[in-house]
Structure 1
Amino acid sequence: MTRNRLAKTIPRPNQMLRIVLPAFSGSLLFLSDYPAHLWPLQLFAFLFWIGSLDSGPKKEGFRSAWLVPLGAGAILGVFYAAPLLVVTAFPWMMAIGLGIYTVFGWMVASWIAYRVNRWPGLHGAFAVGAVVALVEWIATHAIPIWGTAQSFVRVWSESPWAIQFVDITGGTGIVFVLVSAQAVVVRLLRKTLSPRRGLTSLAVMFGLITLYNAARWFEPPISHLRVAAIGWVDDDMPLGARTPSPQVVETMVIPLVRKAVDQGAALVVCPEAPFMTTTQTRDLLLEPLFMLAQQRDVALAIGYFDRTHDDNRVVLIDRKGAHPIEYRKTHRVPFIERYQAGDGTRVDWQVRGNAVGAMICQDDNFEDLASGYGRDRRSIVLVPTNDWHAVKDYHYENSRMRPIENRYGVIRAATNGISAVLSARGQVLAASDHFADGAGVVMADLPIYRSSSCFAWARYAFPICCLAFLLWMARRNHNWRNEG
């Protein structure tokens, strides 16, 4: 082989960069998630992908316009999604579909970001952030598989003090801030942006976020309510998952509820559908809980599967008996849950003067019901859930975003997962991983806040702002080119 032919077979440094850099970004995104959960890596994970978009050919052509950005997006998506889907151990059809969907989303984001990244100054940097934020928002809303649990920024619920601003922007705002800031840094490193403008823009953005976060974080509550959640894993029951419904109520539900009530809980939440019953036999099965609620003046939220109507429900029991309006699970897990879905009707329960709502499991992966309760100014939302070991951390982490976005407390009761009491700030007041801790009770004095949130009233506002900014900048850039 001649020297010239040999040279053609060896990738040039910039060609290698276009492979290595997005692969590094994808790997950092994976490491930021479970099981490693090194979430601060996202603070610089996108530097390499954005840098790869800058390393493409300068001449316009098919290779420049299509292959470079689509390749970068595909590489990032594969290195992020493939190991993540192996770890989560989804059913193979779901895993393949979700993997293709994730990679395609990153290819689209990369292709558009490659175009807007050529816009000059700060506009181009913020445009890259707007593109990724908009594509991520579409990806978590267009095909409802896991909703916002699919978003890479759910890991930021680990630091609620840093993301109080999501009660304006939703999680999409975190995407915009992360990517825009790193796009500015790339321009500073490449010296295509003046240090003064770049550093000033970063200082202003993070300064405003810090001030808002502090104002929300230190807002005083107006009262407190002692609440509890109970939970367990299947192995804790006498016959495991095959334990008959009456035995589940007698050996798991009633003893744990009594334990919570004895510790002073005014509201106790039971997990999602731990037993099955019919409309005719439900009250007889739950008679001991009716008596307990009446004798101890306590409210009990009990999940169950209604065989009569073939749906998944939660009922509130207090000293007056069962509330006539029950909540029915609306969002089912694709390919797994095949019973009748609820119609999304929200409930309005009252517990000692506090407005209370309810969702079930998969419901809190979506923003429609969650933000609806924010608009309804609920103080507390109850979330019975039933997870499995491979997904428990991902689901729990996503659940922690809902109280911050909508400014209400959350009581999460889980089988095969993590039970928790979460404040409206997203702070974990009490939590228990039942795989590690076994069956038990989590209890806390839940602070009640007066305020609602902008996000609850206008959850589409920030994505629309991102789109409007991109359209405005595209037109402005077109005019600049014509004038030039």
Structure 2
Amino acid sequence: MLHQSKRIPCITASIVLLVLILSIDTIIWLEKPTDSLCIAAAGWVLDGRSEGLNPNEAEGFEKLFAEPAREAAAQGAEIFTTGEMGFYIAGYEWDEWIDQFSAVARENNLWLVVGYFNITLDENRLFFMSPEGQIVHKYTKTHLTPFEPGHRGNGDLKTVEVDGLTIGAMICQDDNFSQRTRYYGNLKADIVLCPTQDWRTVKNAHLQAVRARAIECNYGIVRGAACGITATISARGEVLSKLDHYKSGSGHVIEDIVVYKNRTFFSRFGHWPSLVGAGGCIGVCIIYRRIEKRRRWHTGV
């Protein structure tokens, strides 16, 4: 129990902290959206046990990628994305693969964001492809999971403009590192795509973690999953739509992702405000203790 003389300062500090938190939350929640973008994400289970389809073969490509892309475009999607390492592509067959993806992009007037594994370079990658069928950006996964093979990327995150909105992308494990997610916050990304591949024991926990990333940086997140849960998540952390491929097999989700423009404190400063605040509290406590000791020494209490 606190001594009676210390209760009022503690209660006052708690009230001030609560009011500060509620004020910041109120400002954030009162922000009005400025725009929206319709995005679709598709996924499947890589081993194909549920449907006997392999995305790296002609029939699998058609059923798992091309058909959902056509359906998404007919529903109004402007971007179509898939899961992490959804395709395995060697250097000698690169042109053939790109021709297939380009045909889908052009025929459906879609932006494509595709996760794939470059067998020749031993790299886990994604690419942005324009509706004209041109690759405008490639990215290599920066943060590999423990024991994951391949070469890591250098963290070269970039954005692409789609209908006047700023779109970013990272891969799976990258979203667990605040220096990556904050970087897109500081670039004022409106929506971030995150091709993912999760095993059964982490799929739910990873989805919850991604919701926190959206709130921290005030942007929507769309993740296709090659194994795991494909989902669309608002900047408020709401799961707008999701599909667990371990339970439901292949498929896609589509959603209008609302855009907010303000950067968050976390995007700007990361964990520093919390650390400085905690340090300040500790400093105040130490000073208070010393003052109390001196007072007692002088008064003989």
When the two structures are superposed, what TM-score results if normalisation uses the length of structure 2? 0.88
1:59-458 aligned within 5 A: 190-193=1-4, 196-234=8-46, 235-238=49-52, 243=54, 245-247=56-58, 248-334=60-146, 336-458=147-269
* Inter-partner Cα distance in structure 1 for 2:61 and 2:283: 57
Q: Deviations over 1:46-67 (max 9, x none)?
A: xxxxxxxxxxxxxxxxxxxxxx
Moved more, 287-296 or 437-446: 287-296
How many aligned residue pairs are there?
A: 291
Q: Over the residues paired in the alignment, what is the CA RMSD in angstroms?
A: 2.2
Structure with greater proportional strand content: 2
* Inter-partner Cα distance in structure 2 for 1:432 and 1:198: 47
Shift of 1:458: 1.0
Shift of 1:260: 1.6
* Inter-partner Cα distance in structure 1 for 2:160 and 2:256: 19
2:242 partner SS: strand
Residue 481 of structure 1 corresponds to which residue in structure 2? 293
* Inter-partner Cα distance in structure 1 for 2:3 and 2:102: 70
* Inter-partner Cα distance in structure 2 for 1:321 and 1:271: 19
Moved more, 368-377 or 470-479: 470-479
Shift of 1:287: 2.4
2:152 partner SS: coil
When the two structures are superposed, what TM-score results if normalisation uses the length of structure 1? 0.56
1:237 and 1:252 in contact (8 A); partners too: no
* Inter-partner Cα distance in structure 1 for 2:62 and 2:106: 18
**Amino acid in structure 2 at the alignment position of 1:408:** Y
* Inter-partner Cα distance in structure 1 for 2:51 and 2:118: 21
Give 2:278's match in structure 1, choosing from 466, 469, 475: 466
1:206 partner SS: helix
1:406 and 1:452 in contact (8 A); partners too: yes
Shift of 1:425: 1.6
Pair 269,279 (structure 1): closer, same or farther in 2 beyond 3 Å: same
Flag structure 1 segments of 5+ consecutive residues without an equivalent: 1-189
Structure with greater proportional helix content: 1
* Inter-partner Cα distance in structure 1 for 2:15 and 2:279: 24
Pair 262,236 (structure 1): closer, same or farther in 2 beyond 3 Å: farther
* Inter-partner Cα distance in structure 2 for 1:278 and 1:471: 58
* Inter-partner Cα distance in structure 1 for 2:186 and 2:228: 29
Shift of 1:261: 1.7
1:410 partner SS: strand
Flag structure 2 segments of 5+ consecutive residues without an equivalent: none
Larger Rg over CA atoms: 1
**Amino acid in structure 2 at the alignment position of 1:232:** W
Residue 43 of structure 1 corresponds to which residue in structure 2? none
Shift of 1:456: 1.2
* Inter-partner Cα distance in structure 1 for 2:212 and 2:108: 33
Q: Percent identity?
A: 31
Shift of 1:353: 1.4
Residue 23 of structure 1 corresponds to which residue in structure 2? none
